[in-house]
Amino acid sequence: MKKVYLVGAGPGDLDLITVKGLKAIQKADVILYDRLINQELLDEAKEHAQLIYCGKKPDNHSLKQEEINELLCRFALQGKVVTRLKGGDPFVFGRGGEEAEALVDHNIPFEIVPGITAGIAAPAYAGIPVTHRDYSSSVAFISGVSKVGVDQDEYWEHVVKSMDTLCIYMGVSKLPEICGRLMRHGLKPTTPIALIEWGTTERQRTVTGTLEDIIRNAKDFENPSMIVVGEVVRLRDKLQWYEQLQDEQQFQLAAHVG
């Protein structure tokens, strides 16, 4: 029986795929890929590889997770090399753990290929280090969508009191609620916050503010966006390198065309 590869494709920049992840794409007979991967990665697939879209938008999933699990198992049992290509890292809000469990239940060999998660990469491209000796010695990656049945006040109180930097996935639609809970459980209204939309891609844009004004500043931001909360956000003004790189590239292009 051939192996299934659960691969993190990284946050969007084509060059941020790992070498091991790229090899898994190139050897696959079947690739099941997500919405937020860089589509150019599929150009690395074998000529006759079967490509299956498994993308998920909020409240609009092309395939249910149970269907994806079933496809992984079915193709593997047919003797095909299967690569499950997921945005970011498969084990960071990627449901890779659920897929790995399904493979174990069917005695199918698999390999996890970690990827660079947006919680680190998007802030980095925005000039925001998630840890810093002077500002933050701890960081938490949390979901803006809480599990049903969780005591929300207890959850957010724990988050506020235990971590210096918060990287919040899937939280744009709940931004007012998130900011309110953070302030209610102890963070100052002046706490810095940033939203990075389409991080690491040419479409990236970043907005910063405080918990009390970010809702107004980021009113037109949509998914996919990473939310970063904490004192490290103040470093963006000094460290924003990606925008400068884009400006330089546009200048060079304009000069060449001219």
Instruction: Identify whether 170 is a catalytic site residue.
Output: yes
Active-site residue flag, 2 = no
Task: Give dist(CA 51, CA 108) in Å, integer.
Answer: 20
Looking up tokens 């840890």, which residue turns up?
131
Between strands 205-210 and 192-197, the pairing is antiparallel
Phi-psi region of 95 (alpha: psi -120 to 50; beta: other; left: phi over 0): left
Coil, helix or strand at residue 116: coil
What is the distance between the alpha carbons of residues 233 and 128, in angstroms, rounded to a whole number?
Answer: 6
Active-site residue, from 27, 56, 80, 174: 56
**Nearest in space to 75 (alpha carbons), one of 133, 159, 1, 149:** 1
Catalytic residue, chosen from 2, 34, 86, 163, is: 34
34 catalytic per annotation: yes
Round to whole Å and give the CA distance between 127 and 173. 24
Q: What residue type is assigned to position 174 of the chain?
A: K
* Candidate list 170, 174, 183, 213, residue with the active-site label: 170
CA distance 192 to 212: 9
Interatomic CA distance for residues 170 and 44, integer angstroms:
29
Please give the positions annotated as active site.
34, 56, 170
